[in-house]
Amino acid sequence: MHSATEKSEEAPNLRSRLYALPKVDLHRHLEGSLRLQTLAEIAQEHGIDLPSYDIKVLRPFVTAADEEPDFHRFLEKFRFLRRFYPTQEAVERIAYEAVADAAEDNVRYLELRFNPIAQARGQGFSLDEVTTWVCGAVDKAQREIDIRVNLIVQIGRDESLDTAWQVAEVAVAHRHRGVVGLDLAGDEVRYPARGFAEVFQWARREGLHITVHAGEAAGARSVQEAIELLGAQRIGHGIRTVEDSSVVRLVHEREVTLEVCPTSNLQTGVVRRLGQHPLIDLLALGLRATVNTDDPSVSDTTLTDEYEVAMLAMGLTLDHIKRAIVTAAEGSFQPPEEKEQMVEWFREALESENGSLSGLTSREVNDSVNSRSDRSPDC
């Protein structure tokens, strides 16, 4: 029999092990990564009208973590967050800090997505200007911090077709400055993807990769539409793929990577409890599912947190997490040679963590659950 002290020495602390893992985040929004402190400082400096400059008072305006789950209330946060890009310096600062915060969590490869309309509209900046500023800030961050970053330009589903074309053209024009992909995001129920098919097909021909938010608020058919009509190689969320076996087959056959973001799914009300999240089913079906943050500030999360809830509340093992990191590296929007090298790097780094990919035993997971009574497995 082991004493409790010996047992805890045997079972390495789960959280510190997850924190130490080299990570890949394929799905993180710049607009959802704004630090509260930065928001308050920018508002104060530029006289942006706020109920308070105290970050405790501002927190409910930014984060959905303390609210009843609701998809539209979640999207509403971004309307508030659009107000904090008054100058080039502010745009650059927010982009730089988003990269720094990811690196702080040991994210070693990041695909950061941003909506240039969010930064440009209302300030009188052009789409080209804000895209250049974001590219420049991310490039600077990469030179100063140990992280590799590529950018994805995002189009909102509620934008006009004319605007969508403008954003796509700006994205293509910046493909040699770090932009590697184009994304469609927003309300998939009211604005189906099919209206944007031509824009995305053109962008793909011009050399951009395609990811589309789908299978989140709308069902599996929305995933099918994104793949068949827009040429999506990855799907943002995609968790409702499980609802239709023909779409499961399609995702499998086309080797589409699913960018799953557990806490976001809970806060938008797409899943009622993390214990009911279908990530483990997607993995059991052999689909290429990955774990990502979506919006660290809005969801009040980190990638370490997402790995932790995936293990403590959704039934994943450490082995699943490590494999999901390798899957994410394989699904990254990089040139084939760079990607191959990166996949190999992650594989080796993760295998050398504790000697193998075998991961924690179920007893070690149980010990971690018991030692973190603040986080219910059914949350």
Active site residues: 216
Position of minimal CB gap to Zn ion: 294
Minimum CB separation from Zn ion for residue 306, in Å?
A: 13
Give the number of other Cβ atoms within 10 Å of residue 11's Cβ: 18
Q: Which residues pair with 25 in a beta bridge?
A: 110
> Edge-to-edge strands of the sheet including 288-291?
23-29, 107-114, 148-156, 179-185, 209-214, 234-237, 257-260, 288-291
Minimum CB separation from Zn ion for residue 29, in Å?
A: 6
- CA geometry: angle at 155 spanning 217 and 288, to 5°? 55
- Using CA atoms, how far apart are residues 26 and 18, in angstroms rounded to an integer? 17
DSSP 3-state assignment of 255? coil
- Using CA atoms, how far apart are residues 344 and 287, in angstroms rounded to an integer? 20
Toward Zn ion, which CB reaches closer, 203 or 298? Answer: 298
Toward Zn ion, which CB reaches closer, 74 or 85? Answer: 74
Toward Zn ion, which CB reaches closer, 215 or 236? Answer: 236
Minimum CB separation from Zn ion for residue 156, in Å?
A: 11
Q: For residue 5, give every residue at least 6 positions away whose Cβ sits within 8 Å of its Cβ, in sequence order, or none.
A: none
Toward Zn ion, which CB reaches closer, 268 or 334? Answer: 268
Question: DSSP string spanning 103-141?
Answer: HHTTEEEEEEEE-HHHHHTTTT--HHHHHHHHHHHHHHH
- Name the site residues for Zn ion (rule: CB under 5 A): 236, 294
| DSSP tag of 359 | -
- Using CA atoms, how far apart are residues 295 and 53, in angstroms rounded to an integer? 22
Minimum CB separation from Zn ion for residue 264, in Å?
A: 7
Give the number of other Cβ atoms within 10 Å of residue 258's Cβ: 28
Toward Zn ion, which CB reaches closer, 40 or 210? Answer: 210
Task: Note the Cα 46 to chain centre separation in Å.
Answer: 29
Minimum CB separation from Zn ion for residue 32, in Å?
A: 8
Minimum CB separation from Zn ion for residue 191, in Å?
A: 15
DSSP 3-state assignment of 294? strand
Tokens of 346: 């992650």
Toward Zn ion, which CB reaches closer, 31 or 367? Answer: 31
- Using CA atoms, how far apart are residues 199 and 378, in angstroms rounded to an integer? 42
Handedness of CA 198, 200, 201, 207 (dihedral sign): positive
Minimum CB separation from Zn ion for residue 344, in Å?
A: 28
Task: Note the Cα 350 to chain centre separation in Å.
Answer: 21
Do 188 and 222 touch, CB atoms closer than 8 A?
yes
Toward Zn ion, which CB reaches closer, 35 or 157? Answer: 157
